[in-house]
A and B are shown apart, each in its own frame.
Chain A
Amino acid sequence: MTITTEIETRERLLPGPASSALVWEYSPSLESTDHVRIAPRYNLFIGGKFVEPHSKKWFASINPATEDQLSEIAEADAEDVDRAVREARRAYEKVWRKIAPSERAKYIFRIARLIQEKARALAVAETLDGGKPIKESRDIDIPLAAAHFFYYAGWADKLEYAFPNRHVAPLGVAGQVIPWNFPLLMAAWKLAPALAAGNTIVLKPAETTSVTAMMLAEIIQEADLPPGVVNIVTGAGATGAALVSHPDVDKIAFTGSTDVGKRIQRALAGTKKRLTLELGGKAPNIVFDDAPIDQAVEGIINGIYFNQGHVCCAGSRLFVQESIVEPVIRKLRERIQTLRVGNPLDKNTDVGAINSAAQLERIREMVESGVEEGAEIFQSSCSLPARGYWFAPTFFTGVSQSNRIAQEEIFGPVLSVLTFRTPEEAIEKANNTPYGLSAGIWTEKGSRILKMAQKLRAGVVWANTYNKFDPTSPFGGYKESGFGREGGQHGLAPYVVLS
């Protein structure tokens, strides 16, 4: 099938003052799509084979940058989910729990290497399907996904060292439901530790971004993983609900909204199923007056506009010490203008397309509420493509703790700026949220970093940086941002039974 890569040209921004005569227009530098094979239709991956869904229904997967159909994705119903769980159970009992842990490691290593080999195709597919800039899928999503498989492959035959003096056994069949913001990476976060610990899996990708999950299914097939060890069922909420409520699943791992997370927890109450949740966030990014300001501004920009703000740990609440509000806001206004918004396939694009029409609607609604509540809005004056789902990088100043835009997760390129006077006030305001996934601190003073990090109720605290991920580092939330950790040695715990 042909893929549209050209997006109608539009005027580029000049970061300098309007009087400047010079504009350096970067010619489009589009990543080639020739080498990428995206099937016109994807079936379900069950028992090592691609099978048609029982429902005989497929739904369209849209490229959010063009609104063109990219592929058709199978809609799994309860019967398909049941078939997948039965295959997973069979593979668990007959094969996966029995083989030598070092053999499990070999399969996982093989998946990691195949992801590296196909990195360019996966990056392009991720960008076409999800709208994220190619530079992010190329430099972050895909390499990190491979890194997670490599990292957990190393643990497979060393589990007793992860849990000294305990007997370690796998759980059984894990049902995993992942979000649309980092499709392949989230699949890697979920699959790698579960496989390393000896579990079999039924994975459900998000309905708007299933393409790379199905490409991963092809990789898993190519890696010759025993049939049924990994099964992938695509579909929307109903498919996820069928998986969560299936009686023969031993564990549910979910990444997504706090709303759905709560529903899952209710559904699992009273069952023996184990659960980990990685949910929303409204992370504070705290800038002290002794911060390295230009780098802090970069960190603020990266914290909120990375992946169009579709990041659960996005630094969406900026707290600036009152003595440096003026330079920080001025620099933010200038910097936001230099963000290159547009065709996600262009290697120079900084901010891509919003993932779906529904998400765009949600962002618009939240931004309107910010304006209504009296916060001052500042938006990049970049021009946006005529087709597709786009939202200009935006921030609000004069935001109060009580405003909706300071309380609710927007999950878009929208930053709320608040101020503080003392470290104590910063901690109090930063912790004053139902969420607790991540936080950022910007100061040149090391002792202050340590003190703040102790008091911030967040699973991840970044100091003088933001949005840094590594397979060796545990990630997860406090409070309504969820429980359980992914990544690192801690990421194995949800997938083992210790005795």
Chain B
Amino acid sequence: MSEALIHHGPGSFSPALFRRSLGDALEMAHGVDAVAAEERAASLAKRSLKKESKVWGLKLAISMMDLTTLEGKDTPGKVHALCQKAMRPDPSDPTIPHVGAICVYPTMVPFVRQALKGSGVHVASVATGFPSGQTFTEIKVKETRDTVAAGADEIDMVIDRGAFLTGNYQKVFDEIAEIKEACGPAHLKVILETGELANYDQVRRASMIAMFAGADFIKTSTGKVAVNATLPVTLVMLEAIRDFHHATGKKIGMKPAGGIATAKLALSYLVVLYETLGGDWMNPDLFRFGASSLLNDVLMQLRKERTGAYQSGDYFTLD
């Protein structure tokens, strides 16, 4: 491990100092055994959550949700409706918290900002040529700056998978560091697009590169490719976060995204989080779900716990 890393203990972390620490990232990117990682994730998915622990987990899951719409057909009207849902997911139950953030394309940010004013719900936006990332770095940087200026608190960037898969890790690293700088006060979530990285070794390597380059969060997927978040990929990324925390003292957040549509699956993710990183990470500052259809299923389960019966889907708003 390089001098730079050793001299910066907990509390003194600064991404700028880590600009040239790609070597540290690669040093911590040891192999991952796929069979064993999948086995561990599957065994955690068998945890059986009942009663109070289930209700507690589901409410926490809502507060961790990045309620997302990322479509060409998004309009101010559509995102306005989503924002109302985000602030009060179930008006009949005051104990249900608001979601973590609304996640949209950059042009929708001003409308979201307006709609969410004073609610505590964050404004997240994708940037950097989402979802492919196949554009020029200057454009990515400008897009990031403009999006933050438009009112985004959180930027979800994609890594340059083309560069990553050709082994040009320095380019991936430098671009993340540059975007981090462009973010200013906004939090940076780095999307690895794990479905395009082929294996867990690569997932761990990309996680390390993103964290050493300055990511506040690492995120699995855009939701735009065939394979999105999975439990084992999330486990591998959480283990990378754990090792990074041990080495630097810095706590990085995690955001699985895409394909998490049921309350049961969301609870499994929380179990994997809890049993890998512990109670410290069990809050929206350090864990998010990127999801669109998950919220209604969670609300349905919560109402079932409250009333003892499943309600028809007609009782839950489609926004």
Q: Residues of A with Cβ closer than 8 Å to B?
A: 14-17, 20-29, 135, 139, 290-296, 298-299, 330, 338, 347-348, 444, 464-465
Contact = CB atoms under 8 A, between A and B. Distances in A.
Given A15-B279, A24-B53, A295-B37, 4 more contacts: A15-B278, A17-B280, A27-B49, A294-B32
18 contacts: A15-B274, A20-B280, A22-B282, A24-B270, A24-B274, A24-B279, A27-B49, A27-B53, A29-B48, A29-B49, A292-B30, A292-B37, A293-B30, A294-B239, A295-B40, A296-B33, A330-B246, A465-B36
Interface string B15-41: 000000000000000111101110110
Contacts of A444: 30-31, 33
B306 interface: no
A28 B50 CA distance: 7
B182 interface: no
A4 B216 CA distance: 49
A292 B32 contact: yes
Contacts of B278: 14-17, 20
Interface in B222-275: 239, 246, 270, 274-275
B48 to A, nearest CB: 4
B47 A464 contact: no
A295 B33 contact: yes
B5 interface: no
B14 interface: no
Contacts of B274: 15, 24
Nearest to B239: A294
Interface residues of B, number: 32
A182 B33 CA distance: 29
A16 B47 contact: no
Contacts of A28: 50
A295 B48 contact: no
Given A24-B53, A27-B50, A29-B49, A292 B279 contact: no
Contacts of A291: 31
Chain A residues touching B, majority SS: loop
A339 to B, nearest CB: 10
A298 B279 contact: no
Given A27-B49, A27-B50, A464 B30 contact: no
Given A14-B278, A15-B275, A464 B36 contact: yes
Contacts of A299: 36
B46 A24 contact: no
A465 B49 CA distance: 28
A121 B37 CA distance: 31
A338 B279 contact: no
A349 to B, nearest CB: 10
A411 to B, nearest CB: 24
A23 B283 CA distance: 12
A441 to B, nearest CB: 12
A16 B277 contact: yes
Given A294-B239, A348-B48, A24 B40 contact: no
A384 B35 CA distance: 33
Nearest to A337: B278
A25 B36 contact: no
Contact of B53 (A15, A16, A25, A338): A25
B314 interface: no
B3 interface: no
A22 B279 contact: yes
Contacts of B214: none
Contacts of B80: none
B71 interface: no
B316 interface: no
A27 B36 contact: no
